[in-house]
Structure 1
Amino acid sequence: MQYQAPRWLPGGHAQTIWPVLFARRHEGPAPEFRRERWTTPDGDFVDVEFLDDPQAAAMNGHAADRPLLVLFHGLEGTVQSQYVQAFAAVARARGWAFAMPYFRGCSGEINLAPRAYHSGDYVEIGWMLDQLRAAHRGPIIAAGVSLGGNALMRWAEESGDSAAATVKAVCSICSPLDLTAAGHAIGKGFNYFVYTRMFLRTMMPKALGKLKQHPGLFDRDRLMRVRNLYEFDDIFTAPLHGFRDADDYWLRASAKPHLARIRVPALLLNARNDPFVPARSLPEQSHVGPQVTLWQPKGGGHVGFPAGRPPGHVWAMPGRVADWLAQHL
């Protein structure tokens, strides 16, 4: 697999930011979606976006018989994220069904339970995949972007041999497989002023909404003093999801230490100039088992991978990921 970043867009930051703001996301019309709401075992809910493509269904048979690509989004991702649009369009072009489950609280409506979502939530990933497996007759392949990819790999690790009964193959894209390294990297320098502050602009109001739902859930004064994702995770994410503190969360939720346990074909895609994920933290071949393929191109940024002439497009990387996944159908 090859990827060469365009000469007109040099550097990891440019290759991260430009695709979000300016690059084309799909060929042809924008993908259209229909939403379903599922009730979770703890009485909460999650929303799921399904690609609504009647023409493809008519050409390729009933949607339940076609391959289903499941995409797990990244931190604060939505169906409008450029990578979701690109993956959905790639699936549409191949005649595949497509689903993007929202993590709790990310679909535009605050969830009900005294919890949210986190990078190692493999139990939630497994439950979502089980629902899709029960409803879909055709083969399932799954990919996760950034946070969603780490959680997906944690599910594959914990599932071991049984993962193959649910999915044919999995892929993580620009995922912080070493959460400690990535968490500290995003809190420094340019990363702090641009990316950390961007994420906190949406995460802080959600946390305050959760506190209004469940008074006493955490210390509001401490939250209001948060300056970075480490402090946010220490006050909010970690204790709400059963971790002692941010250090414990980042250590136990990281997929990197357990990659050798994966027993289903897995592709780990990470650009070596990703501003969020230091190249030194990426897994090496000695860290993984025979089912795992590492793809670490020099360029691409964080979930950017722009291609073509200005303004560029972002469907080249999803297309190559789909090519790899299709080999295992």
Structure 2
Amino acid sequence: MGACLSVVLFFAKHTRLHVADKPAKVVLRPKFGSTSTTIALDQLVKRLCPAVLRPFVTPWWLFNGHLQTAYCAMGDFTKVNVVEFERTLLCTADGGTVGLDFTPSSETAPDAPILVVLTGLTGGSYESYIRAVLEPAYRSIQQGGLGYRAVIINFRGCSGVPVTSPYLYSAGCTSDMRAALLHISKLYPAAPLLGLGFSLGASVLIRYLGEEGNRSRIKSACVMGCPWDLYENCEYFTRNWLPCQIYARTMGQNLQRIIQLHAEQLSTLPAAAAAVSSILSTHRPTLKEVDAVVTTLTGSARAPFPFPDRDIDSYYRWASAQPHMDAIRVPVLALHAADDPVITITPVNSGIAVSPWVVFAVTPGGGHLGWFARRGDGSLGRWFVEPVLEWLRATAEEMDVPGLAAPREIVESGGVLREDGIDHVECRVISSGGSTLVAAGSAAVIQGL
């Protein structure tokens, strides 16, 4: 039976949806004088996001997850989906700096939906998987786009963002995201916010949604390649030598390079100087080795950092997004490729109960953030673009979420924004308005992860 099922899955081309026994219901807005109706999330996807269920057809030369992932990392995407951003730098409560890259806004309505994007481990606005969605999302309706605004939250030290405190970022810390949301919400108070997270950024986004529940500033979200269980996914690399050598070490080296670029500032934390020196002297470290030595110490300015006894397994369990899934109260579409060689453990294949608010869509192929497929005209494109755009439009324009409470009040004093009741989250603008044409990746890291 198991062998037969494996054969069926191998030849399957369609996406499979996985939902809770009783999916959450949302309200469809009335049209042409009709009354509003409620609809379950899985039915919403089938009705308003039909592209997610269309066949996923890979080109012959990208027939498995390793090739898809490699092409995402090594392909030349500098001439496609070219986007010009306007960068704003925010100073946070601990003196750190977060970089926000906004799409051009001169022709975008102030109440247009805003796509809030969180990148992969060491990524940035330059990532091809981000630009693939952003370019049609912010393009005007007259030109065939959605006419939305978009902003990418670049992690500290990534994509040209300076490190100005002894602390970096981590999967378990949502403070920088919260600071960014304060600024965005203050700037565009009438605009609904839609979340889009990739890999590590997806994990941070899910954690935020769980922490906030029905008070989330994000109205809906789509996550791709989310490492739901950091501990189990890391254990997979520990047990499998070849994936460890390829992926765990590549991600570790990427993070090592970010640390190297900002070693002087990170070393101003007395306890971090030896840790930074140690990891920079390590040849081809795995991600777990970097996290154990540096992230458990500098992943946040707040408790539980430095993590007790620098216990990496405890850190991974604490930082995982999966325990926060049950507290989510807004619609989430989670895309995952069955052959993703980086994220091998998900709630779907590990038997974890799925949240009523999360719809999992699992494709038979696509690798890690690849999803390269043949278009109808024979050209190569990213399969996920159309499903994601449909989801964004449906959740922004076609539905309302029942039972949501007002987000926490934003308090402003002397140019500093704070969230009422949360003393560790604040931001002030350092600089804004600089235009940056982003197409090529950072020379410091391998893109696509």
TM-score, scaled to structure 1: 0.88
Query: Could you tell me which residue of structure 2 aligns to residue 320 of structure 1?
Result: 387
Q: Which residue of structure 1 lines up, in the alignment, with residue 71 of structure 2? A: 18
Deviation (angstroms), 1:200:
3.3
Larger Rg: 2
Deviation at 1:116, TM superposition (A): 0.6
Task: Look up the match of 1:171.
Answer: 222
Q: Is 2:194–2:219's contact at 8 Å kept on the other side of the alignment?
A: yes
Q: How does 1:194-213 map to 2 (within 5 A)?
A: 194-213=246-265
Q: Which secondary structure does the structure 2 equivalent of 1:176 belong to?
A: coil
Measure the CA separation in 1 of the matches of 2:236 and 2:71.
Answer: 20
Query: Could you tell me which residue of structure 2 aligns to residue 292 of structure 1?
Result: 358
Which structure features the higher share of strand residues? 2
* Structure 1 counterpart SS, 2:215: helix
Q: CA deviation at 1:22?
A: 3.1
Output the amino acid matched with 1:219: A
* CA deviation after TM superposition for structure 1 residue 23, in Å: 6.8
State the Cα distance separating 1:17 from its structure 2 match: 1.5
Q: Does 1:193 align with 2:245?
A: yes
Say if 1:283 and 1:95 are closer, same or farther in 2 by CA, change over 3 A: farther
Alignment counterpart, residue 219 of structure 1, candidates 275, 278, 291: 275
Aligned equivalent of 2:184: 132
AA aligned to 2:335 is L
| Corresponding position of 1:107 | 159
Relative to structure 1, the CA distance from residue 221 to residue 116 in structure 2 (aligned partners, 3 Å threshold; closer, same or farther) is: closer
Q: Describe how 1:265-284 pairs up with structure 2 within 5 A.
A: 265-279=331-345, 282=348
Summarize the Cα distance change of 1:238–1:5 in structure 2 as closer, same or farther, 3 Å threshold. farther
Matches within 5 A, 1:13-92: 13-22=66-75, 30-52=82-104, 54=106, 57=107, 61-62=108-109, 64-92=110-138
Aligned partners of 1:23 and 1:312 also within 8 Å: no
Amino acid paired to 1:321: V
Asked if the contact 2:334–2:359 (Cα under 8 Å) also holds between the matched residues in 1, the reply is: yes
Which deviates further from its counterpart, 148-157 or 232-241?
Answer: 232-241
Q: Any idea what SS the aligned residue of 1:168 has?
A: strand
Provide the C-alpha distance between the structure 1 equivalents of 2:374 and 2:295, rounded to a whole number of angstroms: 39
| Cα distance, 1:145 vs structure 2 | 0.2
1:240 is matched with 298
Quote the sequence identity (%).
27
How far has the Cα of 1:99 moved from its partner?
0.5
Paired residue total: 319
One-letter amino acid matched to 2:256: M
**Which deviates further from its counterpart, 304-313 or 104-113?**
304-313
Describe the shift of the 1:254–1:306 C-alpha distance in structure 2 as closer, same or farther (beyond 3 A).
Answer: same
Aligned 8 A contact 1:25 1:313 in 2: no
AA at the equivalent of 1:118: S
Amino acid at match of 1:319: E
Question: Which residue identity lines up with residue 81 of structure 1 in the other structure?
Answer: E
Q: Tell me the residue number matched to 1:231.
A: 289
- Determine if contact 2:59/2:374 at 8 Å carries over to the other structure: no
Q: Are the equivalent residues in 2 in contact too, given 1:12–1:299 (CA < 8 A)?
A: yes
Question: Which residue of 130, 137, 157 maps to 2:210?
Answer: 157
What value does the CA root-mean-square deviation take over the aligned residues?
A: 2.4
Query: Would the aligned equivalents of 2:119 and 2:152 in 1 still touch at CA under 8 Å?
Result: yes
8 Å Cα contact 1:119/1:151 also seen in 2: yes
Q: Could you tell me how far apart the structure 2 residues matched to 1:220 and 1:38 are?
A: 25
Aligned AA for 2:380? G
Equivalent of 2:326 in 248, 260, 285? 260
Supply the AA of the counterpart residue of 2:294.
Answer: F
Asked whether the equivalents of residues 228 and 322 of structure 2 are also in contact (C-alpha less than 8 Å), the reply is: yes
Gaps of 5+ in 2: 1-51, 139-144, 300-304, 397-449
- How far apart, in 1, do the equivalents of 2:78 and 2:350 lie? 31
Distance 1:26 1:269 in 2: 26
Residue 222 (structure 1) shift: 3.4
Using the TM superposition, name which of 65-74 and 276-285 deviates more: 276-285
| 1:283 positional shift | 6.3
Change (3 A) 1:292 1:311: same
In the TM superposition, what is the alpha-carbon distance from 1:130 to its structure 2 partner?
A: 2.3
